[in-house]
């Protein structure tokens, strides 16, 4: 059973009418997408940092004449 916390009270999905259940489903969808995007941002930041590291290595190697 889905539990919803609002303030200091806990409700269940069974407490909601059909409209409320539709909003809950939309909320879950949005939370899922936000989680996916957060994971994507983390992966992209890792790739970006890797590319920056490789560029730094290239710059150092070219200055050292390697």
The contacts of residue 7 (CB under 8 Å, 6+ apart) are: none
Q: Are 54 and 62 spatial neighbours (Cβ–Cβ below 8 Å)?
A: no
pLDDT tens figures, 37-64? 999 999 999 999 999 999 999 999 998 8
Alpha-carbon gap, residue 55 to 36, rounded angstroms: 29
Report pTM. 0.71
Per residue, what are the HEC states of the chain?
CCEEEECCEEEEHHHCCHHHHHHHHHHHHHHHHHHHHHHHHHHHHHHHHHHHHHHHHHHHHHHHCC
Instruction: Give the structural domain span for 26.
Output: 3-64
Number of domains making up the chain: 1
Tokens of 65: 């004449």
């Amino acid at each position: 059973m889905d539990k919803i916390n609002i303030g200091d009270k806990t409700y269940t999905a069974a407490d909601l009418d059909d409209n409320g259940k539709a909003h809950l489903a939309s909320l879950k969808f949005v939370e899922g997408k936000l989680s996916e995007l957060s994971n994507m941002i983390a992966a992209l930041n890792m790739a970006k940092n890797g590319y920056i590291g490789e560029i730094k290595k290239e710059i150092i190697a070219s200055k050292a004449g390697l």
